[in-house]
Chain A
Amino acid sequence: MAEPMGFYTDTTVCIGCKACEVACKEWNQLPATAGGANTMSGDSYDNTRRLDGIHWRHVKFIEQFPESRQDGRWLLMSDVCKHCVQAACLEVCPTGAIIRTEFDTVVIQSNTCNGCRDCIAACPFGVIDMNPVSGTAQKCTLCYDRLQNGLEPACSKACPTDSIQFGTISELRARAQKRVDQLHQTGENRAYLYGADEKMLGGLNSFYLLVDRPEVYGLPPEPKMPSRNLVPGSVYTVLGAIMVGLAGLFSFRDRTSSLGTGPGPEVRP
């Protein structure tokens, strides 16, 4: 397997130009609108609104302004699939459509997906959704086709400020840590890395430098694997089955006489 590859996104240098969104749509031939419907957010410059089956990149505009408007800031963040090392979508996919590639990225094979949508419910980041054109679940592939041909993903290639950086995970982590240290030295002590270590789902192959709490950016503070509920959920269900069985035994307890061999009385439904 090639060395794990991914994205490091430094949100402090994102200018919200959306070049990444455009490059992604162009390269992956994603429609600009959903079946001709162009839904505007109405209260923000962010009209992409969310990641889904036709928006694999989404520049979030987080506007932090008080009522007085005397102070404030824009937080801008180009969001994308996290290509988790422990991927919830891959774990639950019942068709085997979701695979891990030789670059340690996570890809949905559109020719195999049957649109059961279990992966949408499983993704802790709300990244995946249906593509109405293909009728399958879709998300960022980290430009798997470009990677296979030695090219950089379209979004990071187009990013004019290097907010989105592409490379090997080990190299990106070192670079990101240097940037955090630099920001701390300049007084921006809120800077930290989200998902850069193994504690979060084994590590996110697309991780972020943030300067506010994760939830401010619409990121879950504690993303978890769906399988955390598999054993307890199954045990409780078996317990429920036992209770139902006991209720049945108790209810039929005084009629334990054996069944006859005949077809029974001539009553028919």
Chain B
Amino acid sequence: MIAVAFLTTYGFLIVSMTLAALLALSLYIPFLAGQLSLASPGFYALGGYIAAVLATRVLPSAAGSSPVSALLLEMALAAVASGLLAVAVGVPALRLRGIYFALATIAFVEILRVVSLNLDITGGAVGIFGIPQPFASQLGYLWIVAPLLVGTMVVMWRLERTRAGRALVALREDELAADAMGINPTYYKTLAFTLGAMLAGVVGAISAHFLNTWNARQGTFDASVSLLAFVLIGGSRTFLGPVVGGLILTALPEVLRAAADIGGLPAWIARFLKEGRLIIFGTLIAVGSVFFPRGLITPELLGGPRHFRDPRRGSERPASTDGGPSARAASVDRPRRDAASGVAHLAVRRVSCRFGGLTAVNDVSFEVERGEIFGIIGPNGAGKTTLFNVITGLARPAGGQVVYRGDDLTGRPPHTVAARGIARTFQNIRLFGGLSVMDNMLIAQHLRTKAGVVSGALGLSVARAEEQGIRRRAWELLERVGLADRAGEAARGLPYGDQRRLEIARALALGPATLLMDEPAAGMNADEKRELSGLVRAIVAEFDLTVMLIEHHVPLVMGLCDRIAVLNFGQLIDLGEPEAVRQNPAVVEAYLGE
């Protein structure tokens, strides 16, 4: 009986809390991809207006009430409209970075607010009144919002563990590295932005009925900042954070109001609790961010994050440790037409690249043959890394062409280059540092899997089978480089040499035909360098690779490479077999001789 009384009294609050949790999730989804979008209230307002207009003008209804089916239809339409608008706004706006994007989304919300304040169809400043009620009491809305919240949470839980969710997290950790792993940043950022917008639109449609009235005060900048507070105070590293943040922070002012009604309090305290509850609310947000910098709910709080669990405890690790045929099988299905047709494996033709007044690469041409280990040496600033960046699409050449197995790759984005079979490592190691070693390996297999948001979120068997496949392959590759024991650790916690080897394993996980390694031995001691040399030689044979290698350590390059190109001040000054290069006086002068 008490429970029933409680639910009836607090029906409005309970539904409000649930709606707030959903809205917090709508902001959290783009945040997962590293995008701070404050646009949710705009889509929320849009969804609300769609429902309000449809319910009061279009859909037939008995006076003051409306069937639940009409509400569901409005929710669907709100989702579609919000989604379309999100794509239209997101595609241009997501080119902006960081805080610029955030402020552009604030601008979007403000523009929408002013427009809705002035249109006839939205009822101008007055808004729309008397939106019909599908339920007899406010608590009845729980029939809609509770399943919606639970459903969204299940989807988020699955999403964070499958391909699409991992792609989003990879973008948050390091957009450039994610791009080089074959993840299309524009697509996934727009996807996350759109999903968040659709959720906000749906919540708006429900809220319009729930509040019975809708006007331009719904979905303003104030709402944007409250949602941000929900996410950050709740915790932004798991979807449970925003949910908890939304629930608690919505309840808080009401709890304070209720507390004021407790008898026996001095009058001034009661008055302060009632009228000053937003003062307390604001103070708690400020204090909360100081004392809970990672939010109330952290992955550690949830019984240890899966990333840091001992991998051997799980049954997913295969018993056999012999390297595994499937890892190698990756390269077998690759076409061998380049060998037959005589087309160069990788041709760099008259490539130049400039930064401002500096010509980093100047009219460089060479061809790399299939299966060779091709070294690039040169003093600091010779343009070696820039050349890699041009080949992999990270830098746009001022002139020239990069042709890979007959395909012109010039000016293609990194994820397209990766999809064609070129993987790379970075001079200054770009692992997804906050994620586990295993996650790094899974993200790198993005191109080898197909599961989208829907199949991943629904846990379809296709997605599950795919998931098992890439996990098995990740284990095999980790075994190969000797990192299987560290699969559960955070990548940034690994010793330096292990980070280098993980980067190589991660690049191999793409299943490339060509591997570009940028100073893989930097910072290693002599033993490690020797070991690395052996590893490179072994993987070339094992994975049927062509390797391009930038290295400063001359003995290593001389011993390892089939041919060597020498760059100096952006120009190719020599190209040939190690012994010939070593004896070229120009090379000696530029680089070797001291």
Does A pair with B?
Answer: no
